[in-house]
């Protein structure tokens, strides 16, 4: 079963990294990926309070709890499952140097979906504006595949991890009441 899944994952990765226009957009793909490096997350967490939209610090507490849970789960999964990066299985070089050895789940994708889902649930109140951070998180996940540092299922797992933790902390009574 795992062999079938790995073959599917590898086939899709190779299709995406051999996309003819990929090279043309590589600079943009790298830029998108860098927005998920984590440098902006503290600013995103504090901005609603600083701008007067979150006087009770409710969103900040949700971000803080979410990152504590998500990062812990991410590190445990990544270091327990130890899935090697695509470049160790296949004969190609990734377009960026990954920060660690293992690929499952995608930490960039997980963090991006944590942030975007918290914003969608707590700040944009399910409005059409919620699609903006969610589209950004999808772009982060796609960029990680196109850069050759993750398989598609790594990013899908990151999406599920980040969004699940976001829903968990966003709907928790302690944080929801402010």
Q: Of 4-8, 47-51, 65-69, 136-140, which range is least confident?
A: 47-51
Q: Is 38 exposed, middle or buried (0-12, 13-18, 19+ CB in 10 A)?
A: middle
Q: What's the pLDDT score for residue 174?
A: 64
Cα gap 172→157, rounded to integer Å:
22
Q: What percent of the chain has a predicted confidence (pLDDT) above 70?
A: 94
Percentage with pLDDT > 90 across the chain: 45
The two tokens of residue 21 are 């226009």
68-119 residue pLDDT tens: 999 999 999 999 999 988 988 887 778 788 888 899 999 999 999 999 998 8
Q: Where are the domains of the chain?
A: 33-176
Q: Is residue 123's pLDDT more than 90?
A: no
Q: How many helices (H) and strands (E) does the chain have?
A: 9, 0
Q: Out of 34-38, 59-63, 173-177, which region has the weakest mean confidence (pLDDT)?
A: 173-177
Would you state the pLDDT for residue 89? 80
What lies within 8 Å, CB to CB, of 23 at 6+ separation is none
pTM for this predicted structure: 0.89
Please tell me whether the peptide bond between 105 and the residue prior to it is cis, using omega within 30 degrees of 0.
Answer: yes
On the question of pLDDT at 141 being above 60, the answer is: yes
Average pLDDT over residues 130-149: 93
Q: Tokens 């789960």, residue?
A: 73
Q: What is the mean pLDDT of residues 144-155?
A: 94
Angle at 141 between CA 71 and CA 70, to 5 degrees: 15
pLDDT of residue 61: 87
* Fold entry, domain 33-176: Vanadium-containing Chloroperoxidase; domain 1 (1.20.144)
d(CA 70, CA 64): 10
* pLDDT score of 149: 93
Q: Which pLDDT does position 157 carry in this prediction? A: 97
Q: How far apart are CA 69 and CA 46, in angstroms?
A: 18
């Amino acid at each position: 079963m795992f062999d079938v899944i790995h073959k599917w994952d590898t086939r899709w990765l190779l299709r995406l990294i051999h996309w003819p226009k990929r090279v043309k957009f590589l600079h943009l793909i790298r830029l998108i990926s860098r927005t998920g490096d984590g440098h902006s997350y503290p600013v995103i967490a504090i901005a609603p309070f600083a701008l007067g939209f979150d006087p009770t610090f409710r969103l900040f507490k949700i971000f803080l709890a979410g990152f504590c849970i998500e990062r812990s789960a991410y590190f445990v999964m990544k270091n327990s499952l130890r899935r090697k990066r695509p470049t160790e299985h296949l004969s190609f070089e990734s377009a960026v140097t990954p920060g660690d050895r293992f690929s499952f789940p995608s930490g960039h994708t997980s963090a991006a979906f944590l942030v975007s889902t918290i914003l969608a649930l707590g700040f944009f109140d399910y409005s059409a504006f919620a699609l903006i951070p969610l589209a950004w998180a999808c772009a982060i996940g796609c960029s990680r595949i196109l850069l050759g540092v993750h398989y598609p299922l790594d990013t899908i797992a990151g999406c599920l991890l980040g969004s699940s933790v976001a829903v968990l902390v966003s709907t928790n009574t302690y944080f929801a009441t402010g």
